[in-house]
Amino acid sequence: MKSLSMSSFLQLFTPAHKRPVDEHLLQDETTTRLIADTERLLRRMADNATGKNERRTIRRRQKDWDIKVKISYKHIRLLVADTKHSRSPVHKRIRVTCYRKYVRSANGVGLLREATIHYLKDGRMHVRSVQHSSLFKGILYGINRIDLAYVGGKSEEASFDLLATREEQLKSKQANDIHVLSQEAKRYVQTMQQFSLDPMLENKLTRILAQVKRLEDDFSLLGYEEKHTVRRLLKEDLPSLMGAYLALSKANQMEQKDNVFVSLSKMELSLIGLNGELETTKIERMEHVLRLQELRYDQTKPSDPS
């Protein structure tokens, strides 16, 4: 409690643009899709880079958001903003500016000059930092990867760093909510695209995520053990299996591919079984409600007094 009080006291003297953003404001579906779309754009830019150090500006416009990436010889700038048509409950503008690695660097990557989010809440405009937000790790990684790609550099080490970050997010205490956990698992699987994953395994992972998605809306109907099984699968079993597999050499990956496929298949079958049990529970619940309604509202004709 003393530590918490001290932290709150220090925040009073921290400039607004350096205070961390409250992540629960960014958990809506539209913002989640916006972040994922930004990561995809950055990944595509890095993949399509020629290795030449050149200026480049890319803009991607959607109905709900607008993304702009500007690469110069000194900086990489990212601007993401909701449009007036955005369905997000919190309208925002995100600014990220990084120095190119060869200009100014820290810990082996380009030094971060700005990473802020400006948003409207309670009729007032607020500004907060996203530098240490787990939701923006993928975006910051994508900018670093572009920096490397535009000078012909490799990013395999950075890919493993991001995969480790995704695993930490999956295992965090904050990821107990099935909706949040499902999104983190999806982001973890998307990160594996950096490793040229075998299509057979990639398809199996996609099917596992689809089964989890089916469980989300009625997850509360599952028993304690069933809920624990799903959370453990996503938080521990899946990242442990795939993390160990991707750490192998390509030759050993080929040898272990079938074993990993079998393990993933068992996970999928377990989730399919839970979805079947859930459907049975919903049918039984419906039948119970119908019996209850019948008892309450069954109208019988009164007997003739004569």
Length of the chain: 306
Rounded CA-CA distance 304/306 in Å is 5
Task: Find all residues with CB under 8 Å of 243, minimum gap 6, and list them.
Answer: 163, 164, 167
Give buried/exposed letters for 60-85 (b at 16+ CB in 10 A, else e). eeeebbbbebebeeebbbbebbbeee
Per-residue confidence (pLDDT) for residue 299, from 0 to 100 = 65
Per-residue confidence (pLDDT) for residue 273, from 0 to 100 = 93
Per-residue confidence (pLDDT) for residue 198, from 0 to 100 = 83
3-state helix, strand, coil in the chain (%, to 5): 60, 15, 25
* Percent of the chain topping pLDDT 70: 88
Kindly report, residue by residue over 17-40, the tens digit of the pLDDT: 788 888 888 989 999 999 999 999
Q: Where along the chain do its domains lie?
A: 16-154, 163-295
Residues of the chain predicted below pLDDT 50: 1-7, 9, 306
Helix (H) or strand (E) holding 122: none
Kindly report, residue by residue over 277-298, the tens digit of the pLDDT: 888 888 888 888 888 888 888 7
Per-residue confidence (pLDDT) for residue 93, from 0 to 100 = 96
Per-residue confidence (pLDDT) for residue 9, from 0 to 100 = 47
Per-residue confidence (pLDDT) for residue 191, from 0 to 100 = 79
Per-residue confidence (pLDDT) for residue 4, from 0 to 100 = 41
Residue 22 and residue 16 in contact, taking contact as beta carbons nearer than 8 Å: no
Q: Which amino acid makes up residue 153?
A: G
Per-residue confidence (pLDDT) for residue 2, from 0 to 100 = 42
Helix (H) or strand (E) holding 94: strand 92-99
